[in-house]
Amino acid sequence: MKTIILFLAMTATVVAKANDAKYVEAMSKNIEAVYKAQTIEELQNAVNAFDRIANAEKTKWEPLYYSAFGYVMMADREKDNLKKDNYLDLAATSVEKAKKINENESEIIAMEAFIHLIRLNVDPASRGQKYSTLAMLSLEKALQANPENPRALMLLAQLQFGTARFFGAPTTQACGTVTKALEKYETYKSENPIAPRWGKETTEKLKQNCQ
């Protein structure tokens, strides 16, 4: 009996590892697709793939995270503000689903802040106060969950630059955050093979404002 139990346990472990490998392979393929996408159509195809994976892997937060990321990238490319908001609504839905799986994941919370920042940029005059506050709250929470998260720091720097420009204030704080973000991009490592890795190029562009 003990031999049978041990065999079943070993078999279950082998099957689980094989399933994880297939999951990582499928995710990696589509992550590269969303990073390299040049058009909204290409982004939509990647998002559709992430949504299919999410439906099959209901305990994994990453497919929903990248679905949200894809929609944010679509919103960023869209010129029509109504369509832009629609994409952001879809991104927010994916984030909420991801938070139900892992509410304390710093990357998910940072993505929530990213959505707020894009909404703010649709109409800074009327949306500034609401969405800058929401973005700041999300970023504070993301950094509490993981102070090493370079994307949270990069988004915080963006918000700080925008606030400084709006009030005609110095960008000293924002530049300090950019420097810290770049340091984290160099040093931060994740054990998750499909962890987010975007944002360094944007951070380097932000750094140019500090010359």
Q: How far apart are CA 87 and CA 93, in angstroms?
A: 10
Residue 79 pLDDT > 70, yes or no? Answer: yes
Nearest to 50 by CA among 37, 38, 72, 68: 68
Q: Band of the pLDDT at 7, cuts 50, 70, 90?
A: very low
Tokens at 66, concatenated: 């990248």
Residue 71 pLDDT > 50, yes or no? Answer: yes
Regarding the domain delimited by 108-211, which CATH topology (the fold level of the hierarchy) does it fall under? 1.25.40
**SS3 of residue 169 by DSSP:** coil
For 143-201, the pLDDT digits (tens) are 999 999 999 999 999 999 999 988 888 999 999 999 999 999 999 988 899 999 999 99
Q: How far apart are CA 199 and CA 145, in angstroms?
A: 19
* Range from 16-30, 50-64, 95-109, 150-164 carrying the lowest mean pLDDT: 16-30
* Range from 15-19, 108-112, 114-118, 192-196 carrying the lowest mean pLDDT: 15-19
pTM for this model (two decimals): 0.89
Tokens at 203, concatenated: 């951070």
Nearest to 111 by CA among 161, 143, 68, 149: 68
For residues 143 and 112, is the Cβ–Cβ distance under 8 A? no
Locate the domains of the chain by residue range: 1-103, 108-211
- Give the pLDDT score at 166: 83
For residues 44 and 28, is the Cβ–Cβ distance under 8 A? no
Q: Band of the pLDDT at 1, cuts 50, 70, 90?
A: low
